[in-house]
Amino acid sequence: MPGIVVVGAQWGDEGKGKATDQLGDRVDYTVRYSGGNNAGHTLVVNGEKYALHLLPSGILNDSVPVIANGVVIDLDVLFEEIDGLNARGVDTSKLLVSANAHVIAPYHKVMDKVTERFLGNRRIGTTGRGIGPAYSDKINRLGIRVQDLFDDSILRQKVEAALEQKNHLLVKVYNRRAIDATEVAEELLAHTERLRPMVADTVRVLNTALDAGQVVLFEGAQAHHLDVDHGTYPYVTSSNPIAGGASTGAGVGPTRIDRVIGIMKAYTTRVGEGPFPTELLDADGEKLRQDGAEFGTTTGRNRRCGWFDALVVEAAVTANAFTDMFLTKLDILTGWEKIPVCVAYEVNGERTTTLPMTQTDFHHAVPVYEYLDGWTEDISGCREFSDLPKNTQAYVRRLEELVRCRISGIGVGPSREQAVMLHDLL
Ligand code: GDP
Ligand code: IMO
Ligand code: MG
């Protein structure tokens, strides 16, 4: 079972880091294939909490961590994260970084912030990490790649080219100071020697590992509904976090992927702007936020909270062809008498059980709820499905039916061992 992809099935923060870590020591390579340090993956290992933004969760187990070509890398953040882990005794020496990955330059972060401000109430609510501008430059063929740091004069030319138009925009439209190309180039080049030993032809490394039958786990960041093609555009990120993104983002053919695991939270959360039909703006939403500690790992923003939306997850099941689902944070739902689950929408007086095709209809969707019986027992110590209260089991089975994919693992707490496995994921 060598190629496995983990993908968020909602709007991010489903617990992908923990689910990835769960597969742990049986994995040979753990690969980030999209996004950048807009991600925040929290893991609790032996009582220690780790928040990873750029490094794959495999950095905490014995697998080889890989940052593949599809990722955009803020080098300051990369080295800060490495230093932070080293200071806690974590070995990061096996990390590999693709020569083709793009670099987030200081001007990308500036552009992210000024464009958001300029959008006013049409803003996306980005993480401000320069993700969108870095991917825009990549698509515009104005990007800086990791390998450009190895050629001083090429790097300087590329930074100049990237800044030419941006400086006009910054000065004439956004009323900001121009950015000096030499300063940017020097800042990037300062990282070259530290980066050099990590840089590899990761496409070859990963395909050779797959040829040898080794287990390669592609750890998704963001989520299906934040995907630039499949998400709630324009309230999305600028990459393809979906399962297919692992193919382009790491250079492995689709036939290499044997298993696709969707991660879904037992309720729904979202950070930033954009439609969210089951959002709760009342005391129930606040209770979910407090019980689930739904505050962003990356920006510290409150996560918007709402009930489980089966239509949202079912759309992700369809486009990603998930083979398995991992249901997280089921323990957070303990204590509700009835738990609403969205099973359909009313859109302009018509009922639908699949996600509307257009954004306008999605904005007008009114959730139709089914009310499942809750439970009061503490489930955080359960390790077998049969240990779970009957109503909890019924909740799991109903979600499974609604999203049309089997649930193979359940998270009942933040720690590595707090899980119930129904089917082996490897
Ligand atoms: P990711 O971005 O998908 O990796 O998710 P985040 O790390 O941003 O958010 C998930 C949060 O929930 C983290 O703080 C995890 O430690 C925590 N978590 C993950 N799974 C569970 C679970 O099953 N139960 C509880 N109570 N917390 C969990
Ligand atoms: P993980 O991997 C939740 C959201 C931002 C914003 C939109 C675009 O932890 O699940 P960007 O900075 O990417 O241009 O912002 O996407 N966003 C996330 N929300 N979890 C994430 O990552 C996210 N990464 C980006 O809040 O709405
Ligand atoms: Mg997160």
User: What does the pLDDT look like over 197-215, one tens digit per residue?
Assistant: 999 999 999 999 999 999 9
Condensed to tens digits (0 to 9), the pLDDT of residues 344-402 reads 999 999 999 999 999 999 999 999 999 999 999 999 999 999 999 999 999 999 999 99
The residue that leads in pLDDT, 416 or 11, is: 11
Report whether residue 15 contacts ligand 1, using a CB cutoff of 6 Å: yes
Would you tell me how many other CB atoms lie within 10 Å of the CB of residue 84?
A: 15
Q: Residue 24: what pLDDT? A: 74
Condensed to tens digits (0 to 9), the pLDDT of residues 156-177 reads 999 999 999 999 999 999 999 9
Three-state secondary-structure class, residue 250:
helix
Of the listed ligands, the closest to the CA of 127 is 2
Cα 133 from chain centroid (whole Å): 18
Average pLDDT over residues 235-252: 98
Average pLDDT over residues 310-325: 98
Name the catalytic one among 21, 28, 41, 224. 41
Lookup: tokens for 426: 């490897």
Q: Residue 166: what pLDDT? A: 97
Q: Is the pLDDT of residue 125 over 60?
A: yes
Q: Is the pLDDT of residue 15 over 90?
A: yes
Q: Is 13 a catalytic residue?
A: yes
Ligand 2 center–CA 163 separation, angstroms: 26
Q: Which of 32, 41, 115, 126 to mutate to test the pocket of ligand 2 (most atoms within 8 A of CB)?
A: 126
Distances in Å between the alpha carbon of 114 and those of 70, 76, 131, 242, 277? Answer: 25, 21, 13, 28, 29
Q: Residue 111: what pLDDT? A: 97
Q: Is 41 a catalytic residue?
A: yes
Q: Is the pLDDT of residue 1 over 70?
A: no
Contacts by 375-382 with C-beta closer than 8 Å and gap 24+?
375/334, 376/334, 376/335, 377/334, 378/331, 378/334, 379/330, 379/331, 379/334, 379/412, 380/331, 380/412, 380/413, 380/418, 381/412, 382/412, 382/420
Of the listed ligands, the closest to the CA of 17 is 1
Structure confidence at residue 94 as a pLDDT band (50, 70, 90) = very high
Structure confidence at residue 178 as a pLDDT band (50, 70, 90) = very high
| 3-class DSSP string for 140-167 | CCCCCEHHHHHCHHHHHHHHHHHHHHHH
Report whether residue 310 contacts ligand 2, using a CB cutoff of 6 Å: no
Q: Residue 350: what pLDDT? A: 97
Four-CA torsion 85, 198, 147, 242, nearest 10 degrees: -60
Distances in Å between the alpha carbon of 185 and those of 105, 182, 248, 261, 347? Answer: 9, 5, 28, 40, 52
Identity at 8, one-letter amino acid code: G
**Average per-residue pLDDT for the chain:** 97
Report whether residue 237 contacts ligand 2, using a CB cutoff of 6 Å: yes
Q: Is the pLDDT of residue 122 over 60?
A: yes
Q: Whose CA is nearest to atom 12 of ligand 1?
A: 15
Ligand 3 center–CA 118 separation, angstroms: 26
Condensed to tens digits (0 to 9), the pLDDT of residues 137-152 reads 999 999 999 999 999 9
From CA 184, how far away is CA 45, in angstroms rounded?
Answer: 38
Report whether residue 272 contacts ligand 2, using a CB cutoff of 6 Å: yes
Structure confidence at residue 287 as a pLDDT band (50, 70, 90) = very high
